[in-house]
């Protein structure tokens, strides 16, 4: 990394950036022609932020947007991201952007998305956020809208050069003046994945032809000559070209990062699941009003609501559960993909057995090896050892109540709380599994919270070390619905 300790242009953000974010900002400003030294290319300007999760690539991008806007270079920004993180861009602009902007996340029917896009005009910077599938379906309308800057978030999503989403991004990128690629690393399972991402961000680096790129840098081996293997003689050239427009930051390199970082990933329940949730809230409140209000019966009703936000609802007639939402599972899948693309390990913590089972089914479907500790698991030491020592076991899945004591999971520096129980002790113990002796990197905690649900209240209570049960009882006694 470079060692620029001060921004060479003002960073229009509301927080003090870390040194590596300033260095990244300076790097991108140079590559996008905001600072002297680059000659304009007919293909426009492009840069890549190869920054691991938790190092602040979204914040850095927002600062770049503001710098481009304040210098009169751009009026319209298109951010293309996985569906699960479109809402993150709104939250982070609200938190960090110190410039005038209007932002819309395109959602709903195709007609509604197009209508929203048509109304995105005016003096402030116009920022439109859309997921990859919608971007290629709305390619014509987005091209007509004429974004000046296109951001490909989690750019490994377009690593395959001939799929519809990648082709659309290549075409959209070709007519935008500025392009940014954001990903933990563009080199996934195979170095050949670089081509498609770089064709979007700056086709001057590796050209327009996949086959010319492949023949130049790779041998084709294996059965039927279908397996590309990077030529040893070309490794240095490939790396040098790739890093000409790329800024790389890993958690290990970012010495100024805090020991721990919390990320709240808001999850939007499907309309049907949200309707069911709201119905259960009304029912739970009515039952409280008709009976004795105790900590036990308030927490019992909260339990059912928490189960639903994780995607499941129990039956009154049996112990069986019905899956009513996959919203959290879909967000988790994107986090898993991003983590594995970065070559890192991940710990996933959940409260309820149906959630743990659903997570394990997802991993099995994706053919990802994992370790598991939940109630009834006998070989705890073996499960931990596999995760800690075997590079082919990148995921650990644990139950809040049983995986929080006596184990070390420092092979990972990122933990996802899929769901939480109400015990402060369990919460702190789980967090300490990765943040303990033997951990050499800053730790990141990601909380999946269903918007507008008790998830938000539970997390707030745990983080502020408040007594959740007392808070809920007090809410009720003051005439409020404790489940809202």
Same domain, yes or no, for 194 and 336?
A: no
The pLDDT tens digits of the residues spanning 230-262 come to 999 999 999 999 999 999 998 888 888 889 999
Statement: residue 439 has pLDDT above 80: yes
Signed CA dihedral, 49, 55, 58, 59: sign only: negative
- 8 Å CB contact between 64 and 46: no
Supply the pTM of this predicted model: 0.88
Same domain, yes or no, for 245 and 333?
A: no
Q: What is the mean pLDDT of residues 396-407?
A: 90
Residue 434 forms part of a structural domain:
yes
Which residue in 71, 11, 82 sits closest to 36, CA to CA? 71
Residue 274 forms part of a structural domain:
no
pLDDT in the model for residue 317? 46
Same domain, yes or no, for 230 and 362?
A: no
> Which residue segment(s) compose the domain that 207 sits in?
19-249
Statement: residue 165 has pLDDT above 90: yes
Q: Which of 249, 278, 303 is the last residue of a domain?
A: 249
**Helix%, strand%, coil% for the chain, nearest 5:** 45, 20, 40
Same domain, yes or no, for 232 and 347?
A: no
Which residue in 109, 158, 439 sits closest to 271, CA to CA? 109
- 8 Å CB contact between 20 and 251: no
Statement: residue 88 has pLDDT above 90: yes
Same domain, yes or no, for 221 and 364?
A: no
CA distance 186 to 192: 10
- The CATH number for 26's domain is 3.40.50.10810
Confidence of residue 361 (pLDDT cuts 50, 70, 90): very high
pLDDT in the model for residue 318? 47
Confidence of residue 185 (pLDDT cuts 50, 70, 90): confident
Number of H helices, E strands in the chain: 18, 17
pLDDT in the model for residue 409? 96
CA distance 282 to 173: 49
Same domain, yes or no, for 169 and 26?
A: yes
| Beta bridge partner(s), residue 162 | none
Confidence of residue 287 (pLDDT cuts 50, 70, 90): confident
The pLDDT tens digits of the residues spanning 307-355 come to 999 999 975 544 678 999 999 999 999 999 999 988 899 999 999 999 9
Same domain, yes or no, for 102 and 221?
A: yes
pLDDT, greater one: 467 or 178: 178
Which residue in 250, 136, 144 sits closest to 200, CA to CA? 136
Statement: residue 142 has pLDDT above 60: yes
Residue 461 forms part of a structural domain:
yes
The pLDDT tens digits of the residues spanning 195-227 come to 999 999 999 999 999 999 999 999 999 888 888
Same domain, yes or no, for 24 and 108?
A: yes
pLDDT in the model for residue 2? 46
| Beta bridge partner(s), residue 45 | 178
The pLDDT tens digits of the residues spanning 408-435 come to 999 999 999 999 999 999 999 999 999 9
Q: Which of 215, 249, 283 is the last residue of a domain?
A: 249
Same domain, yes or no, for 245 and 335?
A: no
Residue 294 forms part of a structural domain:
no
Residue 138 forms part of a structural domain:
yes
Same domain, yes or no, for 242 and 332?
A: no
Question: Average pLDDT of the chain?
Answer: 91
Of 6-20, 30-44, 123-137, 419-433, the least confident:
30-44
Residue 421 forms part of a structural domain:
yes
Residue 295 forms part of a structural domain:
no
Which residue in 345, 357, 462, 349 sits closest to 416, CA to CA? 349
Same domain, yes or no, for 335 and 244?
A: no
pLDDT in the model for residue 188? 54
* C-alpha dist (Å) from residue 441 to 268, 428, 436, 438: 31, 19, 10, 9
Same domain, yes or no, for 360 and 472?
A: yes
| Beta bridge partner(s), residue 415 | 347, 445
- The CATH number for 467's domain is 3.40.50.300
| Structural domains counted in the chain | 2
Our measurement of the distance from residue 216's CA atom to the centroid of its chain's CA atoms, rounded to an integer in Å, reads 34
pLDDT, greater one: 187 or 31: 31
Q: Which of 203, 223, 249 is the last residue of a domain?
A: 249
* C-alpha dist (Å) from residue 339 to 183, 413, 444: 10, 11, 12
CA distance 404 to 426: 6
Residue 287 forms part of a structural domain:
no
């Amino acid at each position: 990394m470079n060692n620029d300790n001060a921004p060479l242009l003002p960073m229009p953000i509301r927080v003090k950036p870390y040194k590596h974010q300033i260095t990244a900002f300076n790097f991108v400003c140079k590559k996008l022609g905001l600072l002297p030294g680059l000659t304009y290319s007919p293909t426009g300007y492009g840069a890549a932020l190869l920054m691991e999760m938790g190092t602040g690539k979204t914040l850095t991008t927002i600062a770049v947007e503001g710098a481009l806007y304040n210098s009169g270079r751009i009026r319209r920004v298109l951010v293309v991201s996985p569906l699960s993180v479109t809402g993150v861009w709104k939250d982070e602009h609200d938190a960090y952007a110190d410039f005038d902007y209007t932002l819309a996340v395109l959602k709903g029917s195709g007609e509604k998305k197009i209508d929203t896009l048509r109304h995105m005009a005016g003096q402030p910077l116009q920022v439109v956020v859309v997921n990859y599938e919608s971007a290629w379906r709305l390619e014509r309308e987005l091209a007509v809208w004429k974004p000046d800057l296109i951001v490909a978030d989690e750019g490994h999503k377009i690593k395959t050069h001939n799929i519809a989403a990648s082709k659309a991004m290549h075409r959209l990128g070709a007519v935008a003046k500025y392009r940014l690629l954001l990903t933990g690393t563009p080199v996934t399972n195979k170095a050949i994945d670089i081509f498609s991402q770089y064709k979007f961000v700056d086709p001057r680096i590796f050209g327009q032809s996949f086959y010319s790129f492949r023949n130049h840098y790779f041998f084709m081996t294996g059965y039927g000559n279908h397996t590309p293997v990077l030529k040893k003689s070309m490794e240095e050239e490939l790396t040098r070209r790739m890093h000409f427009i790329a800024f790389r930051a890993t958690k290990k390199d970012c010495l100024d990062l805090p020991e721990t970082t919390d990320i709240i990933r808001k999850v939007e329940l499907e309309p049907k699941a949200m309707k069911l949730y709201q119905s259960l809230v009304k029912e739970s409140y009515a039952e409280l009003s008709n009976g004795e209000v105790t900590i036990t019966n308030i927490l019992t009703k909260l339990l059912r609501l928490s189960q639903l936000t994780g995607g499941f609802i129990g039956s009154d007639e049996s112990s069986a559960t019905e899956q009513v939402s996959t919203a959290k599972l879909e967000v988790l899948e994107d986090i898993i993909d991003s983590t594995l693309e970065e070559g890192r390990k991940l710990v996933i913590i959940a409260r309820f057995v149906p959630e743990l089972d659903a997570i394990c089914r997802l991993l099995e479907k994706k053919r990802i090896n994992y370790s598991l500790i939940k109630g009834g698991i006998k070989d705890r030491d073996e499960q931990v050892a596999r995760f800690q020592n075997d590079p082919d076991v990148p995921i650990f899945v644990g139950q809040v109540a049983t995986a929080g004591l006596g184990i070390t999971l420092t092979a990972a520096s990122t933990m996802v709380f899929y769901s939480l129980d109400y015990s402060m002790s369990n919460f702190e113990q789980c967090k300490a599994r990765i943040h303990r002796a033997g951990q050499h990197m800053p730790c990141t905690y990601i909380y999946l919270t269903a918007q507008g649900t008790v998830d938000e209240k539970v997390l707030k209570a745990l983080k502020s070390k408040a007594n959740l049960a007392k808070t809920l009882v007090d809410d009720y006694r003051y005439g409020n619905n404790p489940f809202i």
